[in-house]
Amino acid sequence: MAYDITLEGQNLIEAESLLKEAAALFHKHKIAYWLEGGTLLGIIREDRLLPWDNDLDFSMMCDQLNLVNALLEDLKRKGFRVRIRRFEEDSEQFKKGDIRMLKIRRKKFFGLIKGNVCLDIFVKYPHEDKAYWEIANRLKHVPLHFYQQFREIQFKGSTYMIPKETEAYLTYRYGDWKIQKKDWDTSRDDQALA
C-alpha cells in the first residue's frame, strides 16, 4: 500500500520491531501466515527490509480467519492499532463483508497518534486453482500451489514463514526479482495482476 515513508532510520527500527512482534503473535495463536511482497523480496534478496519500501507485508489464507479474533485482541492489549478492511461488494472470488486485509500499527502518545509503519496482512481466497486477493481495487491471483507449503527462515534472530517455492514465487510476482527495481509499483508491475 502507498504510505509516504521509507523504511530507513527510526522507521526501520520500528518496522523490524513490528515485524518481530507480529510474527511472534501469529506463531503464538497458531495462525499460518507468510512474509509477502516487498518484505519477502527484501529479506530473500538482500537480507534486509528494502529501504525504499513503505510498509510491511504478511499474507494468510481465509481459512485462518477463525483464529484471528484472539490475535486481534492480543495486539490491541499490547498497544497496537488494528483496522479491518472488508470487501464492499460480491464478486466471483469474494463475498461482500469478507475480510480483505488487516492493517496493524503501533499506537503512540497514549493511542492518540498512529505509528509510521504499517503491517498490511492480505487475506487470500482460493477459487479453482488460484488464490485471489485485492490491493488498491486491483484483483490479483497466483497459482494456489504457492500457498500450500511453507518453510521457516531466520531474519535478525526471529523465525518467519515464507512460501516453500520462494524463488519460483518471487519470479511469478516480480519477473527477474534479483535485480533491484526501486520504482516497482504493485498496482502496475505485479505479474499477479488479474
- Delimit the domains of the chain by residue range: 9-174
Q: Which residues pair with 131 in a beta bridge?
A: 126, 142
- pLDDT at residue 113, as a whole number: 55
DSSP state of 119: E
Whole-number Cα distances in Å, 99 to 30, 116, 164, 178: 19, 23, 25, 32
pLDDT > 60? residue 109: no
Task: Tell which CATH architecture fits domain 9-174.
Answer: 2-Layer Sandwich (3.30)
pLDDT band at 36 (very low <50, low <70, confident <90, very high): very high
- pLDDT at residue 1, as a whole number: 44
pLDDT above 70 covers a percentage of the chain that reads 95
Q: Which residues of 62-94 are buried (b: 16+ CB within 10 A; e: fewer)?
A: bebeeebeebbeebeeeebbbeebebeeeeebb
Calpha distance 141→73 (Å, rounded): 30
pTM of the full structure: 0.92
